Structure 1
Amino acid sequence: MSGPRFRMVLHNDSDHSVAPQGPSKPAEPPKPCSDPPTHFQPFRHQQECDLITQAVDYLKHSGFYWGPMEADEAHAQLAKLPLGTFLIRDSMQANVFFTLSYRASDGPTSVRVLLKGGGFSLAGSKHTFSCLFQLLGYYIASPKKSLSLPYRGDAAQSLQELARRAVVQSYGKDSIHQLPVSKKLKEFLWLYPFSI
């Protein structure tokens, strides 16, 4: 495909250090990078880059994003929780960004969250959503009730986080800009404008 390609790059300042070498020593072959491999891939379009960047920003404030968690660990966390309890984690597959892990009727399971056609879709599903949280909302509200509650761990959530979700649930994401509150409070609401 022609056109510009965009890439998210992780930088490590220690990679730029140069060890002094004497004239009698031959140059050593480069050593493999000790940093863990990243699953971030080149983007074909700016739109894909924007979708993933926005999703990551929201996920950081969601409480149910667990980052680079292995499938076995995710399934162990979900095994004794109620049906439909879910979390989002980084995919271990090189060409996929996120994986949804949830407690199904026959035990914990995981499904890849694909980025295709300018939106997010679960592997094997024909439904595509412009926002990852629309995808989650769809499966929470579906008659099958595949998803119910996000898993945020055992630590107590802050009153601010609980209040933010309650405000968004009461007024809706589209009404945040009209709320009679300070600009700073609106900015806080926009960090995670979802009731999930």
Structure 2
Amino acid sequence: EVAQKLTPRRIHTQIDYIHCLVPDMVTIVNQPYYWGVMDRYEAEDVLEGKPEGTFLLRDSAQEDFLFSVSFRRYGRTLHARIEQWNHLFSFDVHDPAVYAAPTVCQLLEHYKNPDCCMFFEPMLTTPLPRPFTFPLQALCRSVICKFTSYDGINSLRLPGSLKDYLKVYHYKQRVRVRRFEMDKQPAIKITTV
């Protein structure tokens, strides 16, 4: 006996993104509390024994996030990823009640006021200055990126490796979601009786 059965409906989703450079990278690099590449364990060592509210900004070790803030609260060092959605930066982009800002520095500035910090949010009252300066290459990158866009980097007359270096501090912004229903095709099921 041969029976014919329709396969279940399949939907394909396509998400289109644009790439955007971090809007205030020059300001970030010039902040004494920005330490650049540092993992959570190094941050914990540096912040050990510091007073409540002491903080530093560092590059996030997780691929989907650009920055994390490490801070002292409740007698220990805590860490919070900075998320991005709709060109806004926040500690929780999925909760509309959580503060969001158009730049990373504006976000951190908001949390410097202890009255604005709920018990579960970062309290960033005392920046921990880094004891080093960034190399000229990193400073130049932030200035160049201030005057171009992610796609604009491709038109610069520079070697490919330098273009890749300029694109490091970027985020993806979703611009469109399309769903396509795939054609229903009959599947043939052969059953022996």
TM-score with structure 2 setting the length: 0.52
Within 5 Å, which residues of 2 pair with 1:1-196?
Answer: 44-45=17-18, 49-50=20-21, 52=22, 54-123=23-92, 126-143=98-115, 146-153=123-130
Unpaired segments ≥5 residues, structure 2: 1-13, 118-122, 133-193
CA distance in 1, matches of 2:15, 2:124: 39
TM superposition shift of 1:130: 0.8
C-alpha distance after superposition, 1:9-61 (max 9, x if no partner): xxxxxxxxxxxxxxxxxxxxxxxxxxxxxxxxxxx335xx24x1x33221111
TM superposition shift of 1:154: 5.0
CA distance 1:105–1:2, shift in 2 (3 Å)? closer
The answer to whether the Cα contact below 8 Å between 2:110 and 2:116 also exists between their aligned partners in 1 is no
CA distance in 1, matches of 2:77, 2:63: 22
- Percent identical pairs in the alignment equals 26
CA distance 1:80–1:144, shift in 2 (3 Å)? farther
Q: Segments of 4+ in structure 1 off by > 4 A?
A: none
CA distance in 2, matches of 1:61, 1:154: 13
The answer to whether the Cα contact below 8 Å between 2:59 and 2:66 also exists between their aligned partners in 1 is yes
CA distance in 2, matches of 1:140, 1:63: 15
Which structure's residues are more often helix, by fraction? 1
Equivalent residue letter for 2:125: S
Equivalent residue letter for 2:124: L
C-alpha distance after superposition, 1:65-115 (max 9, x if no partner): 111101011011111111101111010111100001101123001000001
CA distance 1:67–1:153, shift in 2 (3 Å)? closer
Which structure's residues are more often strand, by fraction? 2
Higher normalized contact order (CA 8 Å, seq sep 6+, divided by chain length): 2
Aligned to 1:36: none
CA distance in 1, matches of 2:43, 2:26: 21
CA distance 1:101–1:56, shift in 2 (3 Å)? same
The answer to whether the Cα contact below 8 Å between 1:74 and 1:101 also exists between their aligned partners in 2 is yes
- Output the aligned Cα RMSD: 2.4
How many aligned residue pairs are there? 112
The answer to whether the Cα contact below 8 Å between 1:111 and 1:123 also exists between their aligned partners in 2 is no
CA distance in 2, matches of 1:93, 1:56: 19
Larger CA Rg, structure 1 vs 2: 2
CA distance 1:112–1:148, shift in 2 (3 Å)? same
